[in-house]
Chains A and B, each alone.
Chain A
Amino acid sequence: MSDASHVNDFVIKIATANGTGSASANGLLMKALFRMGLPVTGKNLFPSNIQGLPTWYEIRANRDGYMSRTGRVDVMVAMNAQTYSKDLAEVSPGGFLIYDSTWPRRDMDQRDDITVLGIPLARMCNEHFDVARIRILMKNVAYVGALAALMDLDTEVLKTLLQETFASKPQLVEGNLEAIRLGYDYAKEHFTCPLPVRAERMGDNRKHILIDGNSAAALGCVYAGATVGAWYPITPSTSLMDAFQGYCERFRKDPETGENLFCIIQAEDELAAAGMVLGANWTGARAFTPTSGPGISLMSEFIGFAYYAEIPAVFFDVQRVGPSTGMPTRTQQCDLITCAYASHGDTRHPMLLPANPHECFEMAVQAFDLAERLQTPVFFMSDLDIGMNDWMIPELTWDDGYQPDRGKVLGPDELEDMERFYRYLDTDGDGIPHRTYPGTHHKGAYFVRGSGHNQYGGYTEDAEEYQQVVDRLLVKWDTARDLVPAPVLTPAQQKSELGIIAFGSSDGAVIEALDRLADTGVHVDYLRLRGFPFADEVAEFIAAHETVFVVEQNRDAQMRLLLIQETGADPARLSSLLHYNGLPIPSDAVVDGITEHIAKEVAA
């Protein structure tokens, strides 16, 4: 490990047990790096458990701004005896491992190719703090102090962060600073500081923020003007509704009466949550539900209803590992087929594919506009990696000129002037009929039903009348094609026969992989999908390349299937690069996959 290469380019992994308060210490560490101007991301690898099981936090700092995981660990903080052997094995050659030397290390676990640093964190904290719980918490802060010395973190930044964090409880600042000093002084005294793996101030990230995708999406819901949220708690989507609640408490209280300008209902199950969202949208509110794969399964009957009865609704699917309960605290992009065609009968639904919290904010707003414009359920396909991890993104901006697109809604005056209103009549040729809200005008009354209906809104079992409506829904589907967010093309520096199609949280890994591949002379065009149905450019991109690698985080190549099904693309051109073990896709997976493919081609 050469000195220069690991300044502002490293991965720190911290192994602790959940419920010990390590999250705030890890947050402090990440924020300190952020304030020193380093591009950072934090990935939380946590168990489906409340207390006592192993949890890891992985911080990547990278001067070039790469945000994905890599296969590397440069500094491991191994605080959990239970996982010590595994954590030791994971350190990259030349890396460092810090452990709590209060207790003896197991002799059998040795490595010659890394440096092991013992710090008696528990002992020092036990000597300095009285209360048992404080001792546990401060042990975490103390390793941040040790890292500050070892990795040259700006201690003034740490101090400021602690003062800000505990602004309302200043008495806590001193204790935390004391813990920082314990770790810091011990490291300074016993080791050569700083290590070659270290941080160096490179700016201040002024135009950036740290945020997780669920919070950003929730903020989008607030700015979109959503007033009703119905949900059933499910990892990893729960924090989306928690954040919505929090932002509403801040922004949506009537200043005079203190009353809520929103209504959140914790439903009895996902079926009810979906029904509530439909009911609220039907009466003219913007309503949404956050959920994950198992919730989508339960909501499917209502999703088909909303499709056929043409009720707007926004479903946030923060995807987790399936099938079944799967691994609730791990990430995948595994609900694509489920959501694209959710429910029985012929159904298809627009999907938005945000790649990071910045897009979560923007696409959440778009989701409501689209749902109301198209009068149909819209799926916002996030995942655990985007939703629950901490991302550094450019500051969010808001255009105060924004007005929600409520779609084709007839108000009381228009209805008054009409001879008769027909709910499902396509008067504009775009497949989208007009709707009315209950409570506005008696002429606007109609009957919503999931049973067969004709274009006038009446019940029907007539063959032609039925078919006329479902065929019109296909016209609407074509209209949707131009309304969903367009794909983003990143051309290679040279003309290439190779392409990559990816989407969502794989974006970071692909961006880094493209640069690494280009360094080895492999140039690849990149098309990032952002919406479904696919725009025409998608088919054109596939046709223009001999091989297109479809990068996705599921076992069955669901996006590839969608591409073949929906664009008629030649399957022979579409080569899958799959990553589905539940951890966010690392850039190595993309580099290795493409490199192997090329090697095989050459051999053949």
Chain B
Amino acid sequence: MSSTEITLALAVFLASAVEMVEALTIVLATGATRGWRSAIEGSAAGVALLAVLVGVVGVPLVRYVPIATLRVVIGALLLVLGLSWLRKAILRASGHRALHDEDRVYAETVASLEDTRSQRSGKALRRDALGFVVSFKAVLLEGMEVVLIVLSLGASANRLGLAAASAAVAVLVIGAAGVLVARQLSAIPENTMKLAVGIMLTSFGVFWIAEGMGLHWPGSDLAVPVLVAGFLAVTGVAVAGMRSLARHAPSVGTALADRGEVGR
């Protein structure tokens, strides 16, 4: 495997894992309140639809769109997505934005679904339309971003199979972890993973935009890990700078820094 392929597989795996954790939190809450059969069936239907989307959109994309055009468009999409994730991760790491809390999402979902729970009996075995729809939507909505990443990275590097396989492995690993740890999804370092994915997507975005325009990077594929290291350094400086601002500005950041919560 080349360095680009390893970075691609890692980026898709981490991005899929992050989105899977978010979807699984809602699926677990739905299963606990509305019954496991509907929650599992809804999730499976969502995953199946996402897999069909990858096949229906991805294969023609790779076969019929000129590779240079594909790389520029996909590079731009990856850059928008990567910068957005990276910005959010920097704000979270520097204490300017609340960390994503799966325990809170779980509690809120259970509370919203529990209202009608008492009206049902034998919930573990019967089908429940609301449980099915909530699980299906959670998997579909969280999975759409994964589909975009799989299509983008897979198509631009002409490794759609590798990208799809990495996403499938992430779904299996996080699914297994969900079964084992049940509600303890908050133990998964989701915010750190998001920061890593943001750095990788940004690196791939910059790499493909330039390559698509005919600006070839020194070292060819080896430029990708160098770009990742460079954006990691920029992120480190940005987090340190934002923390410093939090300490000096009369703002929420100051309050958090005083309480030792910045960068948690």
Partners in one complex: no
Residues of A within 8 A of B (CB): none
